[in-house]
Structure formats: C-alpha cells, structure tokens
Amino acid sequence: MLLAILKATFFLPWCLTLPVPPAADLKGWDFVKDYFQRFFMTKKESSPLTQGEQIRFLQQFFRLNVTGLLDKQTLAVLRQPRCGVPDAAYYSVSPERLKWDEDTLTYRIINYPYGLKTSTVKDIMRAAVSIWSSVTPLVFEQVDDRDADIKISFWALGINLFLVATHELGHALGLYHSGNPNSIMYPTYEYKDPRTFHLSLEDIRRIQHLYGRKEA
C-alpha cells in the first residue's frame, strides 16, 4: 500500500506538498477547531479533546508556551502557510512511515514551473535529493523517458522551491512532520538560506532510523 502512495505523483509545491493557507474567514476558537480537525484528525473521527486541551496540544506540538489559551503567538503560528500533509501521525508512538525497500530511487519531473529555466529546476531538484542522500545510503536517479518511483509535477510557484522540495522529499521517503522549528519537516514554511541549509540533527536521526547511515 505504501509503495502505491509513494509512486503516485506528488506536486511541488501543491498537493501533499500543498502550502495550505489556514481558513481566513474563521476566527478564534472556530479557527482552532477547524485547524485541529483538518490537520490532526482523520475525516472519520471527531476530537475527544476540549477546547483548552486542543489548544494545549497544538502549543505542545509547535513547542510554544503551553497555556491552553489562544494567545497571539499561538494564533500567529497557526495562521502561517503550511504543508497540506496532516499531522495525525503525531499521535503514533513511532511517527516514521514505512520505508522504501530499495536504496536506489528514481524520480521524474513531469512538468516545469513557469518562469524558471528547465536547467535551474533540475539543479534545484538535484540539490534537494542530495540533502537526503548525503546522510543515508539512498541514491537518486533522474529519469526522463520512463516510469519513476517519485513523480514530480508543478502547479504554481510561490514558495522557495529548494526548501519545499526537500520537505516533500522527506515525506516521500517516509517522514512525517516534526514539531521542531529547526527541522525541515516542520509543517509551516519558514525561509532558510538554501546556500547554507543543512538538515537538523533530528532530521538526520529520523531519516537514518529508516535507511541507516551513509557508508564512508
């Protein structure tokens, strides 16, 4: 089942990778309730938590001051554009997904975003996959004329491509979101200079938990 999901096209920056703007028309508790339901619950269940418990849960997840009150800092974090992958996995004991069975993975760029040269996009994608291959035995191969394990397509560009691609590749490799603001798997998008970017120690630990360390 996992392989079927991973082999499906993921879109940059939208789809599972979708930077989702929170519901702007909702205020206060209605906004929090909608956010919690969209990203921390499945469609088939409703939250058993009270209003204060949900706010405390979100504050704990985003490593904020846990008060149970909807303060300005909490609301500001929740209103940031974020990845559309739900955080329901945060409930699980082991938040990592199943892994790929092979170490060599192919990827194919289905189409290219308007306004960027094809060569630029290819360079950015190579840089993104190298972030993960530099700390694991994984090898990524771009293919153009055949089926691929990971298929990449673009709907629109408004977010830094390198950071979004690195984040979404983390999902494709089996990682869920992290509540650590320093992690590339943090659900909200925060700009980091691609020229000096590196994985956090948590990112390295989690991906190596799935695939092991890169041999010297």
Higher pLDDT, 33 or 197: 197
Fold of 22-80: Muramoyl-pentapeptide Carboxypeptidase; domain 1 (1.10.101)
Helix/strand/coil for 102: coil
Mean predicted lDDT score pLDDT of the chain: 81
- CA dihedral (171, 174, 178, 183) positive or negative: negative
Convert the pLDDT of each residue in 133-160 to its tens digit.
999 999 999 999 888 999 888 766 576 8
| 114 pLDDT more than 60 | yes
Distance, in Å, from the CA atom of 216 to the CA atom of 66, rounded to the nearest integer, reads 43
Gyration radius (Cα) of the chain, Å: 18
- Are 13 and 156 in contact by the 8 Å Cβ rule? The answer is yes
**Residue for token pair 């306004």:** 115
Per the structure block, which two tokens stand in for 85?
């992958």
Convert the pLDDT of each residue in 155-178 to its tens digit.
665 768 899 899 989 988 989 888
Hey, where are the domains in the chain? Answer: 2-18+95-211, 22-80
The pTM assigned to this predicted structure is: 0.75
Residues 6+ apart with CB under 8 A from 135: 199, 204, 207, 208, 213, 214
Instruction: Give the residue numbers annotated as catalytic, written as ranges.
Output: 168
pLDDT score for 6: 38
| 105 pLDDT more than 90 | yes
Distance, in Å, from the CA atom of 142 to the CA atom of 108, rounded to the nearest integer, reads 6
Nearest to 108 by CA among 122, 128, 124: 122
Higher pLDDT, 159 or 79: 79
Q: What value does the mean pLDDT take over residues 67-75?
A: 90
End-to-end CA distance of the chain: 33
19-20 and 82-83 as β-strands: parallel, antiparallel, unpaired? antiparallel
- Taken as a whole, the chain contains a residue count of 216
Q: What value does the mean pLDDT take over residues 86-113?
A: 73
Fold of 2-18+95-211: Collagenase (Catalytic Domain) (3.40.390)
- Give, to the nearest 10 degrees, the angle between helix 161-173 and helix 201-211: 40
Q: Where are the beta strands (DSSP E) in the chain?
A: 9-12, 19-20, 82-83, 104-109, 139-142, 150-154
pLDDT score for 42: 66
Lowest mean pLDDT among 31-35, 37-41, 128-132: 37-41
